[in-house]
Amino acid sequence: MYQRLRKILHTVCHSQYQGFVLLALGLLVMSGPVSAKRTLLVMGDSLSAAYNLPSGQGWVALTADRMKATHPHWTVVNASVSGETTSGGLSRMPAALKQHKPKLVIIELGANDALRGLPLELSRRNLQSMIRQSKAAGAKVLLIGMQMPPNYGKAYTDGFVNNYRDLAKQEKTALLPFLLQPIALDRSYFLPDQVHPNAKGQVKLRDHVWPVLKTML
């Protein structure tokens, strides 16, 4: 780079615009390379899709707002869909990766699998395929887990949690074990349905995800 600059300087040294060119080149060197735009892709369900809230109040949108200030070279694409299962996410993953070419993918899926009584092994395979497709496309992965209430039975609830833990370990991805952890025991952070976070709860989720996410940017 500097050899090229020397050649340019030699060419313009006798130019009437010498002072201007030297100043411009100096500023270019000091500023350094411009950071290339990068994309964060979020594949989630209603918990990431700001269910029954204005889209700008969801934790993903709040995270995008924060990143505009802290990491302006990143763009956030929220491809979350209310009611989405791991099977639905898997079916959409190839097109999403091709279209957005993300450098980082957040996968927050699985709760609707449990609500529909889908086998744990099916959820595991789907999540594993999504992780592997993301990594094959050159993206890092943050896997975000959920937990099921005790009435699902100990075998199922333990297996559900272990799916995320074991996959993160096996696939060497980052893991946030439980998205709702900071609000799960305080119902004031939920909408009247007592399932989906309200605007106050969304702020808590943003702040819960951020410490892990920021280390990956």
Kindly name the residue from 113, 134, 196, 208 that is annotated as catalytic: 196
Length of the chain: 217
Name the β-bridge partners of 190: 197
Asked about 113 being catalytic, the answer comes back as no
Quick check: is 73 catalytic?
no
Which structure tokens are listed for 166?
A: 């074991």
User: Which tokens in the block code for residue 2?
Assistant: 């500097």
The residue type at 16:
Q
Q: Of residues 10, 31, 188, 193, which has the active-site annotation?
A: 193
What distance in Å separates the CA atoms of residue 132 and residue 113, rounded to the nearest whole number?
Answer: 20
**Pick the catalytic residue: 45, 46, 48, 113?**
46
Q: Comparing C-alpha atoms, which of 111, 112, 102 is closest to residue 78?
A: 102
Task: Map residue 173 onto helix, strand or coil.
Answer: coil
193 is catalytic: yes
Residues annotated as catalytic are 46, 193, 196
